[in-house]
Structure 1
Amino acid sequence: MRKKVKFSRYATLAVIANLLLITNLLSAQTVIEPVIAGDFADPSIVRANNQYYAVGTSSEWAPHFPIYSSKDLLNWKQIGYVFEQAPAWTSGSFWAPEYDYHNQTYFIYYTARRKKDNVSCIGVATSKYPDRGFVDQGIIIDYGKEAIDAFVYLDGTTRYITFKAYGLDQRPIEILAYKLAQNGLKVEGEPFSLLKDDANIGLEGQSILKKDGYYYIFYSAGNCCGAQCDYNVRVARSTSFAGPYQLYAANPLLMENEYWKCSGHGTFVKSADGKDYYLYHAYNKKTNVFSGRQGMLARLSWPQKGGWPVLKEQLGPKLNQDLKITFTKPKIDKRWQWDFRNSSPTINQKNGQLHLTGSTNNNNLTGIALTVRPVSAIFEATTTVTNTNNALKGLVYYGDLGAAIGIGIAGNEVVYWKVENKTRTVLSKIKITTTVPVELKMKAADDLSLMVFYREVNGTWKNVPVKEKITLNFLPQWDRSPRIGLHFSGSDNQEADFSFFELKY
């Protein structure tokens, strides 16, 4: 017989308080964090050399297709890019790279627009390593008005390459498949259909697994990108690779939750302990298009043999994402990217300074933006300009050629400027007495407003006043987030010199 214990009122309140504390802690721990923060859409993953490698979309930013590595699927570090220079046949839209490995060779099948007609095709690059040394081998699939989102599947001894077709042809989208040649560099025979979008809900970003006698196509449906997206992950299965495929009645497998929306376009990897994980992308509901489609992780499970799969979001690590880039080494930081279509930056580092110059297109009203991927819409960016000339040198928040905003110094003036709808406006100018060094700051708030500041030697921070509130909702592009970084606008014989770049969230 249990002895009845009588609690005092204060003891009871203490127990309740502790329960509430534990509940709050558990609730806080269920916040789903990304595993690769910032804009990293359409990820593909491979396990090699006792670690994992992931590659993702770069859209219009160079270098092209960032590569990350991890030892545990949770903590990732950027280690390079597939291409430092755009392949000769391409003009832009570097989307959806996909890893494959066979014949002791790593393949990356990728989407890009063809320079001669702006049609999206699928190219392929090869290397003996998963993280470097990729050499472009040209176009492998040129199909109609659009061929995107390659995925390679090995069925027995036969490799197939699958892709999305007809997105621009006024007919239902289909996932098509070709047989791949043994060398992986060309297709054989005629394509055949695996799955058709008869419901007109969208169909792309496919990844294929086989389990208990069924072939499963995991795919994304809905609108992939932008603030109004409704992407989600679905599945269909068949007893034959060629189909027909039965749609899962309980679709979707991944959808909007409290923290994230528009989940989609991922691929699978088997971990060292034999578990299957799905690396995919999603928008953070708070920072949305300003932080882009971030890298997320889900665990794949099969509750019943012969039954349908389940995808469960995993908790990424809670990391301090602040960064400070200094310029003490000759090699530039791998996180820098730029709009390669509209500028050709020249970047040198020596004596603790980054020297930025280069050329731009004739219609470029913005200049050169050397940027990093933000992980939030709320930030403070700071730099110090260390040289004097009439070129504009400073900080920029860059969406595209026709959408950018920044603060810089030109001569003895601090200039707050904006390019919107391909029109350049000077928002404010302030004359200063000390030319260099001058420290500059951009501060973005959660209401998407921006304030800018400057500080002279041994001075205090001073706000640059404007007539009306400046908001940033004009910056994001439909398929990519804006970037934050260093800025130069001047002639070829001028340059901008900086002593550091710091970004705090």
Structure 2
Amino acid sequence: MSVSSTDAQQHRLPQPILPGFNPDPSIVEANGVYYLVTSTFEYLPGIPVYRSTDLSNWEQVGNVITREAQANLRQTPTPGGVWAPTIRHRNGVFYVIVSIMFSGHGCVLYTATDPAGPWSDGVRIPSVDGLDPDLVWSEDGTALVTFASWGKGILQVAVDLHDGSALEEPRQLWSGTGLLTPEGPHIYQRGDWWYLLIAEGGTERGHGVSIARGRSARGPFEGHPENPVLTKRSTDYPIQNVGHADMVDLPDGSSLWVLLGVRPVGFTRAFSPLGRETFTAQVHWENGWPQARLLPPNQAEGPAAFTIDFAQSTELDHGWISDRRLPATVGRHDPVQGAFVLSGEHNDVSLAGAPMLGRRITHHKGRVSLGVNVSRGCGGLLVRCSEVHWIALEATETAGKINVTARASLAGIQSTWSAELQGENLELHVNFTPAPARGANAAPIVGGDRITLLASTDTEHAVLTELDGRYWSFETTESFTGRVIGAYARTGEVGLLHYTVSPDLADFDSKES
């Protein structure tokens, strides 16, 4: 399929193109192939690299941060970590520049000749004392890093990319239009103009895209007279918080923006359970300025089926992530048990860096099931937003009986529900269903989506509780991430047998509750 930005083509692009926790997207084209990266904050491996030839079908081919020494996140507090990477390509080399916040690393530049990796250890750039760095080369080939600085607007500094040293003092480039938090800058050359694209208004409901242009990559820049050029604030549009855009030119002379946004749910559409996702906006050019159009979501309600049998899979794919550590450090494949075994460290999931293994939740509706062996440990299924906002199904086995406890943590306040099951082949389940808009007598039902926690064996099943998902949504947790679901171990060894994502929410066959 050839890439075009006509209305028909744009309608064929999935919206979002990367569902679930994939904020702050950046995109680059190299030799007819598109590569895209997003933020990962406290999770490792960091900075997923997605590849596409048609802007519609995306495959994760690797991650930039695959060694803990590249970022050192173990002591990084939430919501710190890997913020807003920018990916660029020049003379056969791929560059990713990023802020690693509240970690002591600051701005770091990684390089690779293959975007699938491996990526370099990284070069620190001390002069970039801010966030959301962008990389561009000026007319004379000088590398310019443009970044946001709290209270100072958008700054820029010339840098030696080999050692990270500054070639000048950072200087102010543009202060934006006066809206909250000018950030996320990106600079492009198009014809005789250089364009500076930024986000303003904060990454919540006031978010938007503003743009300025000038005759040099170094400025000065003059803002568009109708900034922000794209925002959905104070509207009922199904995508909100739109901003932090990056641009790629298309073969037909138009452009495409990738940008973050949320899909809020509920009667008041106030809660976004999936966090910030990656969307696209169609861009045409008129009188030297971009005109952007954001089309509504067109994703299917439920996810495509996904399953992994840990007895058959000796390696984890690129989509698995862990909290502040690499998946290889929290467990191992055990061919004797036919499982991926997580090793508990007597840590609760309320502690940063506790042993867990998860994947991004990508749809508002669906079921995730985990087959688990707890004969030698305590642990189970985990829905994580942060170390203080999480939901767990924790299981132990004693004298042939399986005890399952549902635990819900909201800002550190915990509630529990318990059940006892007999039988074998323990499975833990979580159902996600969209929030009902109306109740009895057409009365509105406030809140978020519904999260139902269940457990089953080959002979019994139990529904432990149903929760209001507003408390584990982006607007409530303020963790900058979305829901990640997987497994954790608290003590001993917990064997993961299989993990399944399904759009099917049917009841358990004919088992008695």
Structure 1 residue 133 displacement after superposition: 0.9
Aligned partner of 2:511 in structure 1 is none
Distance 2:331 2:126 in 1: 34
| 1:223 and 2:205 matched | no
Structure 1 residue 349 displacement after superposition: 6.0
| 1:324 and 2:306 matched | yes
Distance change in 2, residues 1:128/1:242 (3 Å):
closer
- Provide the secondary structure at the position in 2 that maps to 1:453: strand
Aligned partner of 2:149 in structure 1 is 166
Distance 2:86 2:200 in 1: 19
Tell me: higher relative CO, structure 1 or 2? Use CA pairs within 8 A at least 6 residues apart.
2
Structure 1 residue 251 displacement after superposition: 1.5
Structure 1 residue 355 displacement after superposition: 1.8
* Conserved 8 A contact 2:16-2:280: yes
Distance 1:111 1:414 in 2: 41
Structure 1 residue 178 displacement after superposition: 1.4
Distance 1:179 1:31 in 2: 37
Aligned partner of 1:9 in structure 2 is none
Per-residue deviation, residues 186-240 of structure 1 (Å, max 9, x unmatched): 4312222210247252211112223453322111101114xxx311001112234
Aligned partner of 1:107 in structure 2 is 95
Aligned partner of 1:485 in structure 2 is 486
Distance 2:451 2:382 in 1: 12
Aligned partner of 1:475 in structure 2 is 472
**TM-score w.r.t. length of structure 2:** 0.80
* Conserved 8 A contact 1:233-1:264: yes
**TM-score w.r.t. length of structure 1:** 0.81
Structure 1 residue 183 displacement after superposition: 4.2
Per-residue deviation, residues 111-154 of structure 1 (Å, max 9, x unmatched): 103545xxx721011111122110122311344xx411111222
- Report how many aligned residue pairs link the two structures: 455
Distance 1:424 1:60 in 2: 23
| 1:250 and 2:231 matched | no
Aligned partner of 1:369 in structure 2 is 356
Distance 1:151 1:443 in 2: 40
Distance 2:63 2:112 in 1: 12
* Conserved 8 A contact 2:108-2:124: yes
Q: Gapped runs of 5+ residues in structure 2? A: 1-7, 436-447, 505-513
Aligned partner of 2:167 in structure 1 is 188
| 1:393 and 2:379 matched | yes
Structure 1 residue 360 displacement after superposition: 4.6
* Conserved 8 A contact 1:369-1:398: no
Distance 2:499 2:179 in 1: 50
- Provide the secondary structure at the position in 1 that maps to 2:68: coil
Aligned partner of 2:41 in structure 1 is 59
Write the letter of the residue equivalent to 1:277: L
Structure 1 residue 474 displacement after superposition: 3.1
Distance 1:182 1:417 in 2: 48
Aligned partner of 1:384 in structure 2 is 371
Aligned partner of 1:433 in structure 2 is 422
Aligned partner of 1:127 in structure 2 is 112
Distance 1:352 1:142 in 2: 51
Distance 2:141 2:305 in 1: 46
Per-residue deviation, residues 421-478 of structure 1 (Å, max 9, x unmatched): 33554x22222222x3112211233243332222221x364322x5xx6333333432
- Counterpart of 2:18 (choices 36, 56, 59) is 36
Distance 1:95 1:487 in 2: 25
| 1:296 and 2:285 matched | no
* Conserved 8 A contact 2:307-2:501: yes
Structure 1 residue 107 displacement after superposition: 1.4
Aligned partner of 1:153 in structure 2 is 136
Write the letter of the residue equivalent to 1:499: H
Distance change in 2, residues 1:75/1:205 (3 Å):
same
Aligned partner of 1:76 in structure 2 is 58
Distance change in 2, residues 1:349/1:323 (3 Å):
farther
Aligned partner of 2:291 in structure 1 is 310
Distance change in 2, residues 1:356/1:403 (3 Å):
farther
Aligned partner of 2:211 in structure 1 is 235
Per-residue deviation, residues 64-83 of structure 1 (Å, max 9, x unmatched): 01111111011112222111
